[in-house]
Amino acid sequence: MRHAQRGAALLLAMLTVTLVATFAATALWQQWRAVEVEQSERARSQSAWVLVGALDFSRLILRQDGQGSRTDHLAEPWAVPLQESRMSTFLAAENGVNQGGDEGLPEVFLSGSIVDLQSRMNVANLVDAEGKLREAPLEAFKRLFDLLGLPQAELMAMAENLRRASQKQTDDGADVPLRPERFDQLVWLGVSPATLRVLEPHVTLLPQNDTKINLNTASAQVIAASAEDLDLVAAQRLVQARTNSPLRDVPSAAKILSPDGTLVTTDYSVTSSFFEVNGRLRMEGTVVSERSLVQRTTGNVVTTIWRQRVAGERQP
């Protein structure tokens, strides 16, 4: 009997130890999880504020550029991308003297760039204010698709769906696609992701349907496709010429592109109003990226139209 009682007591003791260990492990896991959530939330909040500051700084650069220059070209300060740099190099130095005091702080790296969106062909130009297709921009897109080796069927689907999405109502009463606001949303109009990747350096989607192409920043493919009487050789000649000396006005560019003077200069410009600001923050293995569309209007007022953030990427 005594042996049975001792065995029961030992079993009860082992069961008690197991329960205590289980409860302790559960409590430790919950505490660890709470700490991880708090750290992630803090990193997200800090990243958001840093990227807001970076966007404001980019707007300041564009505003100052508008005050001191009548043209926008790739040799200006805004066109120079910011390579990944440690934030402490911006924050810990004052008047050229390192103040120190950053021991124990997390390593934070910031990079970014500003892109002239009027260096690209605007999809919104395909339709007018009433939602009707415009022939000249459509022909220009056809030439661009040919230069890039892309299917014309996707272009026609995009144009037709954009027309339907831009009209308040359709004749047949059928459902219409949503009108996209950003370039990546063009998949709503029937463009495949593979085609979007090829188009991205040359095409954009802006909130206005009357934007001009900036000949100081546009690619040779965009310039060549923009007019029927242009070819890639002439466009490359212009790109080389502006590398040596930025274009001061459209007529001077027209002489390089089309010596016979047949270029429609009203479709082009040497200044821009729409820019894309890209920011990337890397902190403690987490990467947060943000893309913003800004517009510079009369009086050098730079406003943010939309912001798109991609978070949650983890570095090994």
Tell me, what's the pLDDT at 2? 58
Residues 93 and 187 occupy one common structural domain? no
Output the pLDDT for position 52.
Answer: 85
Assess if residue 165 is contained within a domain.
yes
pLDDT of residue 188 exceeding 80, the answer is yes
How many CA within 13 A on the CB side of residue 50? 24
Residue 24 lies in a domain: no
pLDDT tens for each residue of 38-76:
666 666 677 777 888 888 989 999 999 988 788 999 999
270-285 confidence digits (pLDDT tens): 999 999 999 998 877 7
In this structure, the answer to whether residues 77 and 151 fall within a common structural domain is no
Q: Is the pLDDT of residue 311 over 50?
A: yes
Question: Quick one: 183 and 279 in the same domain?
Answer: no
In a domain, 213, yes or no: yes
Q: Does residue 287 share a domain with residue 237?
A: no
Whether residue 8 lies inside any domain: the answer is: no
In a domain, 212, yes or no: yes
Are 223 and 166 in the same domain? yes
259 in the same domain as 128:
yes
Q: What is the pLDDT of residue 92?
A: 54
Does one domain contain both 236 and 189? Answer: yes
| DSSP sequence for 212-281 | -EETTT--HHHHHHHSTT--HHHHHHHHHHHHHS--SSHHHHHHHH-TTS-S-GGGEES--SEEEEEEEE
Same domain, 192 and 285: no
pLDDT at residue 100 tops 70: no
Q: Is residue 33 part of a domain?
A: no
Residues 111 and 130 in one domain: no
Q: Is the pLDDT of residue 3 over 70?
A: no
Alpha-carbon span 223 to 57, nearest angstrom: 31
Q: What pLDDT, on the 0 to 100 scale, is given for residue 316?
A: 42
Q: Residue range 252-275: average pLDDT?
A: 82
Residue 226 sits in the same domain as residue 283 = no
300 neighbors 63 (Cβ within 8 angstroms): yes
3-state secondary structure 185-205: HHHHHCCCHHHHHHHCCCEEC
What is the pLDDT at residue 315? 47
The answer as to whether 278 is a domain residue is: yes
The answer on 277 and 262 residing in a single domain is: no
Domain with 54, as residue range(s), is: 43-118+273-314
**Could you tell me the pTM of the whole model?**
0.81
Residues 202, 186 share a domain: yes
- Pairing status of strand 93-94 against strand 97-98: antiparallel
How many domains would you assign to the chain? 2
CATH code of the domain covering residue 80: 3.30.1300.30
Q: Is residue 255 part of a domain?
A: yes
